[in-house]
Amino acid sequence: MNKAQLVEAVAEQLGGRKAAAEAVDAVLDTMVRAVVAGDRVSVTGFGTFEKVERSARFARNPQTGERVKVKKTAVPRFRPGQGFKDLVSGSKKLPKDGPSVKKAPKGSLTPGKSGVAATPAAKRAATKRAAAAGSAAATKKTAAKKTTATAAKKAAPAKTAVKKATTAKTTVAKTAAAKKAAPAKAAAKKTTTAAAAKKTAATAKKTAPAKKTATRKTTARKSTAK
């Protein structure tokens, strides 16, 4: 039986070929995607589909007998359920009507409690995905910190240069202001010195007549005494 014949057989039960084709495609696509992601697809009474890792090994070429190295790979594996085995072996009779495989337990088809999500392989895959997501987030944070540190290091010389330039400008401005203020200070000093000299001269002039008068009086007294 090929896929077209499978769709026709399902269409006889569903009453429409289009709906049957969509149903078959949806089931196969869901199973393939789950197995590729590392999940185990288990159908009660039918079997289990899962992904199996095969390590690197040496094999023989059946035509030449040459030893060939086979790389590490992953392959899908199907393990038939006990009910399927019993029907094929003939230990159980195939029913004429109704489903040939055992129905799923009650409540197992409730959303969020499917066999795929409840299997250990699915849990391990979910854990691996969560760990990978956490590792990726940590890597991004580390990269962001490194980028920030690098940017800060690059910006440090620029800040130092700006600070030096500002200091140099301030020094130049102070020097220029000091040079401009120097003539004014010198002129003020000269004015102060000249005023002091004038004051001293005026005081000397006032003192001179008093000294002359005192000298004259002393001389007169001496003459009278004689």
Tell whether domain 43-91 is in CATH 4.10.520.10. yes
Q: Which of 28-42, 136-150, 177-191 is modeled with the greatest confidence?
A: 28-42
Nearest to 206 by CA among 198, 195, 218: 198
Residue 130 — very low, low, confident or very high, per pLDDT cuts 50/70/90? low
SS3 52: strand
d(CA 7, CA 13): 10
Query: pLDDT tens-digit profile of 159-168?
Result: 666 677 677 6
Query: pLDDT tens-digit profile of 10-64?
Result: 898 888 899 999 999 999 999 999 999 999 999 888 999 999 999 999 999 889 9
205 vs 82, higher pLDDT: 82
Q: 76 with 51: CB under 8 angstroms?
A: yes
What beta strand segments (E) does 9-145 contain?
41-43, 47-54, 57-60, 67-70, 73-80
SS3 44: coil
Query: pLDDT tens-digit profile of 72-99?
Result: 999 999 999 998 899 899 888 888 877 7
Whose tokens are 């899908």? That residue is 76
Residue 68 has pLDDT above 80, yes or no: yes
Nearest to 127 by CA among 16, 39, 21: 39
Contacts of 119 (CB under 8 A, 6+ apart): 39, 40, 42
Spans of all domains in the chain: 1-39, 43-91
